[in-house]
Amino acid sequence: MSQPHNEELFSRAQRSIPGGVNSPVRAFRSVGGTPRFISRAQGARVWDADGVAYVDYVGSWGPMIVGHAHPRVVEAVQRAAAEGLSFGAPTEREVVMAEELKRRVPGLESVRLVSSGTEATMSAIRLARGFTGRDAIVKFEGCYHGHADSLLVKAGSGLLTFGNPSSAGVPADFARHTIVLDYNNVEALEATFAERGAEIAAVIIEPVAGNMNLVRPTQAYMQRLRELCTANGTVLIYDEVMTGFRVGPRGAQGLFGITADLVTLGKIVGGGMPVGAFGGRRDIMDCIAPLGPVYQAGTLSGSPVAVAAGLETLRLINEPGFYERIEALTTRLVEGLAAAARDAGVTFSAQSVGGMFGVYFSSLPPQSFADVMGSDRERFNRFFHAMLDAGHYFAPSAFEAGFVSAAHTEEDIDATIAAARRAFAAI
């Protein structure tokens, strides 16, 4: 029997799975065309159901920082799996993971493992509310923190991609506790705290946004946010599910030299398996059950196999020169793409932070959600398809960041830049 093709699989999938996918952005709806069904991956490459190879800049949306199917991570997973898949009881590996995270993440005095980034942010919000006894939270337009009810208000990622930034099914009574502000807008932040500071339980922020494409906040903005939270007894939550161990070895906290009260983690911490974590100040974390009154739980939390994958990934990224190399590769990519666009006379910009990057069909990198909306999305879609046809897999949406792994080589990056030269000339 011949191998099923992407199109056949997509038709079959749509008969049994909503939209044919288990997470919306991968359906390719905003860029059009047929999603690639991935059959295997190794290093910097993924292969689709037709056997076509792509240089991968999605990297499972961030976690695959050491490359796909790294032999040491695979071996760690196999070893853990052979010892048992799940116990619903504590294991030594979880303790090692908690100690590792405490050692590396600023301000992390206590940490709990969960199974996804969504669980981490949802739990952190509940905890902040329980700790402060307040209901209101602040989030920023275009930031996406997973799909918990209070956070699906003017959110990024798939909600932005499909033009529906506030999900149906979220009771108005929940949404009214979520205050949405413009990213990077100090005046709006100050005015909100001046008016409602005493009601705000938490501010949650993607400290480098990656779900409305990559948007970098200014140092002054992050500093002022920290000051206002401290002055108002508001819990500052850095959602580092994407940026943790990605923008640098100490995440965005390290980048800005600012310590949040709570941090959420995911993606890299699971090395490609489902893991999330939230943690921070001990006085806040001690409010979680069984120590305190805020309930949070999970049968598969601290999954021994997933934690084994995460631990091995954390060991690999700790090796000397890891971040220098990944940062140099990512810079080479964005500078090469920008030069290729310039030569072709295409309005384009690009930037990177650590191993994470953004490409924009606008003359300057965006500072806010409004700037992102001003970019030429039709042109992005044509670029995306030209690159895909040439064997280079970028995120299938103008509202997502891209990711480079340590398995990418300079030759891979240069091949992508060469393909982009042809793509820019054609679009």
The answer to whether residue 154 is catalytic is no
400 touching ligand HOZ, by CB under 6 A: yes
Q: Which of 48, 239, 261, 412 is catalytic?
A: 239
158 touching ligand HOZ, by CB under 6 A: yes
Nearer to ligand HOZ, 59 or 217 (CB): 59
From CA 206, how far away is CA 247, in angstroms rounded? Answer: 12
Q: Work out which of 10, 20, 25, 142 binds ligand HOZ, going by CB under 6 A.
A: 25
26 touching ligand HOZ, by CB under 6 A: yes
Q: Which of 261, 267, 393, 412 is catalytic?
A: 267
Nearer to ligand HOZ, 211 or 405 (CB): 211
- State in angstroms the smallest separation of the CB of 211 from ligand HOZ: 5
- State in angstroms the smallest separation of the CB of 161 from ligand HOZ: 9
The answer to whether residue 295 is catalytic is no
Q: Which of residues 200-219 bind ligand HOZ (CB under 6 A)?
A: 211
- How many amino acids of this chain bind ligand HOZ (CB under 6 A)? 8
Nearer to ligand HOZ, 248 or 402 (CB): 402
Nearest partner of 279 among 258, 297, 295, 265, judged by Cα: 265
Nearer to ligand HOZ, 206 or 327 (CB): 206
The answer to whether residue 144 is catalytic is yes
Residue nearest to ligand HOZ (CB): 23
Q: Which of residues 293-352 bind ligand HOZ (CB under 6 A)?
A: none
- State in angstroms the smallest separation of the CB of 320 from ligand HOZ: 31
Q: Which of residues 56-75 bind ligand HOZ (CB under 6 A)?
A: 61
Which residue stretch of 21-29, 163-171, 191-199, 376-384 sits at the interface with ligand HOZ (rule: CB under 6 A)? 21-29
- Name the residues that contact ligand HOZ, by CB under 6 A: 23, 25-26, 61, 157-158, 211, 400
Enumerate the active-site residues: 144, 239, 267
